[in-house]
Structures are given as structure tokens and as C-alpha cells.
Amino acid sequence: MTITQSDLTMKNRLLDAAAQLLAEQGISSLTTRKISAAAGTTTMSVYTRFGSIENLVNELVLSGFSLLEAEMTQAEGADDALTHMVCLTAAYLQHARQHPALYKIMFGTIALGEFRPVKPETLNTGKYTLELIVGAIQRLIDEGSIQPGNAFHLANEWWVVAHGYVLLELSGYFEASSSIPKVLEPLLKRFFVGLGADAKKVEQAIDQGIKGGLA
């Protein structure tokens, strides 16, 4: 079956509507009637494009991680490995800021109840996205910017740092503009210096990566 641009547009409208409803009204809003009404279409559109609410939620999570990966990929390219890593961090935060409801759904901070994705391929998608960070960490190790270590484990440590900051900002505990220099930048400096990076180079990377990525 040929998928038209119209099909893709409607599919995205339904996904956006579901994400917004979940963020504003919770799991009780996840019905074909409410989703289709919010998207300006019929309930049949939900079944035609997804088959069920469960499949729609699964697709919503997958689309979120695909978007995150695409946005982080666009942030790649810095000549300096440390700046490259900071740019990826900025892209991660920017994604969460631009798609707060979707981000919370991706990581389960908005309750999905019986619709929570359990398919292995969906649960693994977030881990695959982390491969960008694993590669960036390995580059730091290979270039001698940080001490040798397991890149995968270090990438997971970075994820804890980035995700923790993001959730606190999205939840309103951190004020977006003032918390960057007061919390995020010192946190990143301690993280990379703790791994053996030169403090001055880390400061320069943060100055370029954060200010450029979150302008």
C-alpha cells in the first residue's frame, strides 16, 4: 500500500493530539473519540492508521526517540571532541524543551497505564539513541581527552545527568535561563573533569556548545 503525504500528515496530527491530551488530561483522555476530535478527524482515522490505541501510543514513543536522534545527529560535527559532546547535551535539552509532553511520554513520567509500551523494539529504541553518546564518549577516550573507560557505561552516566536536569527543568523546579549557568554548566564541568578532562578545555567547550546549542 502506498503511503501518501496526506496519510503522513494525518498520522502526525493524531500523534500530536494524543501527546497533548495525555499531557493536559491524563490517561483517561486516551480514547479514539477524543484523539480524533482533537486532530479534527474521525475515529476511523485512528483505526485506519494505527489499528488500536495501544499501537498509537507505541508509535508515539517511537516517533519521539526518532525525533530526538535526528535532532542530536544535526548537532554533530564539532571539530573538538569535548565541544561535540556538549553540543549533543544541548541538543538533548533543546529537544525536551521543544517537545515537553512528548519527552515525558517517552520516559514514562506521564502515566500511560495499560497502554504503556512493552514491545522490546520500542523499549530498545531509547537505548539505540544512546549510541550517539557512546560514540562521542569513545571519541573522547580515543583522543585522550578523558581517561580510558567503558564508553557505554560512561554514556549511561551522562544520560543520568542530562535526564535528571531535564526533568527538573520541565517540572518547574529549575528556571530555564538562570539554571543553565548555575546548575547545568557546573554539573557538566564536574562530570567531564571527573573523567580526567582538562578543566580549561571543558570550560571552553561548554561556552561554545551550550551557548551555541541553546541560543
Give the chain's radius of gyration (CA, Å).
19
Entry pTM:
0.82
Q: What is the mean pLDDT of residues 169-190?
A: 93
State the pLDDT at residue 143. Answer: 94
For the stretch 135-153, pLDDT in tens is 999 999 999 999 999 999 9
The CATH label, of 3.40.190.80, 3.10.350.10, 1.10.10.60, 3.40.50.620, for the domain at 1-51 is: 1.10.10.60
What residue spans of the chain are helical by DSSP H?
A: 5-25, 32-39, 43-50, 53-74, 81-98, 100-106, 120-129, 131-142, 151-170, 176-179, 185-194, 199-213
Query: CA angle at residue 194 from 192 to 195, to 5 degrees?
Result: 65
- Distance between the two ends of the chain, CA-based, in angstroms? 43
Asked whether residue 7 carries a pLDDT value surpassing 80, the answer given is no
Please report, for the chain, the start and end positions of each structural domain, with discontinuous segments joined by +.
1-51, 61-213
- Which is it for the CA torsion 143, 145, 148, 154, positive or negative? negative
Q: What is the mean pLDDT of residues 39-64?
A: 88
Q: Hey, what CATH topology would domain 61-213 get?
A: Tetracycline Repressor; domain 2 (1.10.357)
For the stretch 59-108, pLDDT in tens is 888 888 888 999 999 887 778 999 999 999 999 999 999 988 888 888 87
